[in-house]
A and B are shown apart, each in its own frame.
Chain A
Amino acid sequence: GNSVTQMEGPVTLSEEAFLTINCTYTATGYPSLFWYVQYPGEGLQLLLKATKADDKGSNKGFEATYRKETTSFHLEKGSVQVSDSAVYFCALSNNDMRFGAGTRLTVKP
């Protein structure tokens, strides 16, 4: 079946630090992959997505590359800001939607 394994954290970084949140998946066929972000008291928002192997999704300085050979979709940002503090979810769509456990990121000034 489909599943997503995500680095759980929590992750605490200083402003301008480099961020990596690891995500690997299990799926048959060719799933679409997503990163969603959840700010306090809100629902999830799509951050970026990739629909086929080697696609790179990017948005707001975040990026992730769909690696079929390693079944991974790691999220990266070169320089985080305090406003990036949130919970990040890796997800896949392949007949149904599966989400990772979420990674809480706190960025300190």
Chain B
Amino acid sequence: KAGVTQTPRYLIKTRGQQVTLSCSPISGHRSVSWYQQTPGQGLQFLFEYFSETQRNKGNFPGRFSGRQFSNSRSEMNVSTLELGDSALYLCASSEQSHKRGGGDEQFFGPGTRLTVL
């Protein structure tokens, strides 16, 4: 089975621009979660999608949004980029949603490194 893939791997944008990141989960996985990883804040949960519905959301401003398609692929969008949005954005997939009660392993992609200048 192919692993979780994320595109692009690297991205450079300027302040005020918007960006869309893409994630393809492992075949058969219906849950996709997004995380932001920075040296200062560590790994922070952005949101989780399951069967095209947002199941859970972390504490991020509305500039961060996402969606999931019927084939479980997911995109996240960040509008009006700020310097502090520079980070590694990780996507993870699992068979079931965290809302179900946990226990399912998450499989992570390699991440998209976003640099905002």
Interface residue SS majority, chain A: strand
- Cα(A100)–Cα(B37), bound, Å: 12
- Is B56 touching A95 in the complex (CB atoms < 8 A)? yes
What residue of chain A has the Cβ atom nearest to residue B39's Cβ? A102
- Is A100 touching B42 in the complex (CB atoms < 8 A)? yes
- Is B4 touching A43 in the complex (CB atoms < 8 A)? yes
Q: Could you say which residues of chain A place their CB within 8 Å of the CB of B4? A: 43
- Is B108 touching A94 in the complex (CB atoms < 8 A)? no
- Is B110 touching A97 in the complex (CB atoms < 8 A)? no
Determine if B33 is an interface residue (Cβ-Cβ < 8 Å).
yes
- Is A96 touching B45 in the complex (CB atoms < 8 A)? yes
Among A34, A46, A97, A100, the residue within 8 A (CB) of B33 is: A97
- Is B110 touching A41 in the complex (CB atoms < 8 A)? yes
Smallest CB separation, A102 vs chain B (Å): 6
Interface residues, chain A, CB within 8 Å of chain B?
A: 31-32, 34, 36, 41-46, 49, 51, 89, 92-102
